[in-house]
Structure 1
Amino acid sequence: MHLFRALAIQLVSWIVAVFALRYTVTPPAGIGAIVVMQAGIAAAFALTLKAPRWWVVIHLLFSPLVVGARMLDIAPAWYLFAFLLLSAVFWSTFRSRVPLFLTNQATARALLQALPQERAIHLVDLGCGTGELLRRLAMSRPDCRFTGIENAPLPWLIARWRNRHLPNVTIRRNDLWSVPLDSFDIVYAFLSPVPMPRLGRKAALEMKPDAQLIANSFEIPGMVADRVIDGDPAARALYVYTFAGRRGKNGRPVAEMEPVSAAVPADGARLIAE
């Protein structure tokens, strides 16, 4: 659905740009003006439709890059190679609207300090990307177990290679929505605002009562975090959630979670990179 909407925005923007300039600009001198106007119109449409910021950037750059590539007379094989490479990295990003996010060093240090120090834990990184975060955590806490879930082929291969010598790290290629959360003590996620409602509902239904969900940068709508870790200016905010007090007698989420379940998107989410 998101891909079709993006293509529709590009098509409508081209139509508007051509009709707006047809009486004032003539080809070939007018090609550049038409491309610039089309890019601006597409970005404006994306902003009006409240698309994520990365989609706005994509709409702004898409047509200029296509026209520029045509002028360079690049061999068709390079386009195929670029398509395969991008597909291997971003995989189903167009459906999930979750780009490749990487956890910076300051945030990794904050996460490491937030882990329980008095006992060994099992942490899962939902969308571990290239596995760098798990490598840092595993080397600092050899007493703990770490599992990375990654759906995109190339980041998954890189993550496996980076952590191949660490016995306390397991990298699995899987979709995060199909992974049960009941065996983990810490669930870490660096996604985007779009899948957070669905993640909140999944965590409330599946996680152990004493387990923690730590969300990087993006809060769960309809829920108040138990605490927020944002002491380091260079680090992103970490929102810590527990669910023991948010369930009723039947184990289902209490009223606080109702807005979350109503906002669950139908599509799955791609890769969360560290």
Structure 2
Amino acid sequence: MLTTAQIDTVVSAALAEDAPWGDLTGQVFLPGTAIATVQLTAREDGVLSGLDAFAAAFRLTDPTVEVDPRTADGDRFTAGDVLATVTGPARAVVQAERIALNLTQRLSGVATLTRRFVDAVQGTGARITDTRKTTPGLRALERHAVRCGGGVNHRFSLSDAVMAKDNHLAVLQQQGLDLTGAIHRARAQLGHTTRLEVEVDRIDQIEPVIAGGIDIIMLDNFSLADLARGVEIVAGRAIIEASGTVTLETVGDIARTGVDVISSGALTHSARHLDLGLDMTVIAGV
């Protein structure tokens, strides 16, 4: 779950970057007594994510600012919907608005793209998951956004699970080590709660990897025909993950091969910011 500490760490750093000594423009143009009300408004359809980060930007700037959410993370919305209302000292509202908006636009973009992937595989049983191709420093928030869009999360970091990829296997081969035996040795060093996944890029690697006693096998950049063949070979002996050049146009066909999980870095690295706006509705107390 996304924690307040994770949110505040990211938002505090962003606020410090944007206004290290305060908002000079707001100080010279806006009276200290001015109270502003703004609305977070959708300018296109989408799925909301980042509302807590949105609120944190104002709270950390001035705790007297009030944020009234009109919807929740994970909800779909349409263009024109008011997603939240913010009221507080005008200087604080204007100072925090760009950080609040940047994060909400970014995270809602990830959630919206994820929902499109999830919708594309509906009825197949395949689950959509993210990868470690996240924005440095924003992984916890972007992973939350994937969940808001109906996806699931892969390992959070290199410390969470064992995942041997092509580079690991290449080193084994160069040293003349047997693949099945190497997996057995790796398994012997792990606790019983730690999962072990191995990536393969050829059909002939599947049986030696399965024989090593893995939990998950990743079929990387397989053709649709080879994915279907791989599902037959594995025959339920491990969870099957498909990965590599997964797009909205291809994900449905990949899911119909019978794989269990489809991972796509595009959910985070290729999501565009959603078009949301903060519109001033009232300014009083000048």
Q: Please confirm whether the aligned pair reaches a TM-score higher than 0.5, indicating the same fold.
A: no
State the TM-score, normalizing by the size of structure 1.
Answer: 0.28
Q: Which has the higher contact order (CA 8 A, sep 6+)?
A: 2
CA radius of gyration, larger in: 2
State the TM-score, normalizing by the size of structure 2.
Answer: 0.27
Higher helix proportion, which one?
A: 1
